[in-house]
Structure 1
């Protein structure tokens, strides 16, 4: 298993994995987002590539800066193909995200996990992450004026 930065030719597979995470995506959307990484060096998408060359997982990590507390790295998304779970791929991706954060001087990694993803919660606890709070997420759609 190789962990490496995402390349444009990974976009279709990354989009399919987004769907396994529960978020509809397209190759074009992933390509547009990936293109933005060229101008924002404070984030990356790392992929897990199986020996046969197929992308079987990804992690998106970025720097998070705000006035209300210390800066930290945030894992914005993590998914491993459902047919490859339980093989240490998720752990390797998280460790790669943590290494990326350390290289940039972040001393902490933060992530959110939906309350219904109980297996994911145990996975993160097993990696040394602790629940520090629960909260509600509010959303409002904005229409063009």
Structure 2
């Protein structure tokens, strides 16, 4: 049975592995731990839940409070990732429902997210749980 709970520092290795295997972000465990420490100190801005089965972390969702001058506040999902061995079991849906519950509890107007253009399976998943794409855009990045 899947349990959804707040992320803890003891989850770092599992999160790092999921980021590498499921999302393709191969960063060091040290960076994962450093980022977790920074993000966990501000639970009003960063909301991070893990999905656990039999005390094994099998997925996570990370959202942040999205506040802009052109919109009412909402939550912005930065990552949703499930261990490849646990996909297609409704875990992503449970994690997204928990984020939606937080948004509702905080009286926020929506949950938004971006998904890479090539992640067609993810797009189908988000559509299946009620999300729709409302625009096309490009991301620009400048390494400093």
- With the shorter chain as reference, the TM-score category is over 0.9
The structure with the greater share of residues assigned to strand is 2
> Which residue of structure 1 aligns with residue 4 of structure 2?
3
- Match of residue 133 from structure 1: 135
- TM-superposed deviation, 1:83: 0.7
Once superposed, which parts of structure 1, at least 4 consecutive aligned residues long, lie more than 4 Å away? none
Q: TM-score, normalised by structure 2?
A: 0.93
When the two structures are superposed, what TM-score results if normalisation uses the length of structure 1? 0.92
Structure 2 residue aligned with 1:124: 126
Report the CA distance between 1:57 and its aligned residue. 0.2
1:95 CA drift (Å): 0.5
- Uncovered stretches (5+) of structure 1, i.e. residues with no partner: none
What do you get for the CA RMSD once the two structures are aligned? 1.2
Structure 2 runs not aligned, ≥5 long? none
Aligned-residue offset at 1:40: 4.8
Distance 1:83 1:40 in 2: 29
Size of the aligned set, in residue pairs, is 141
Which residue number in structure 2 is paired with residue 99 of structure 1? Answer: 101
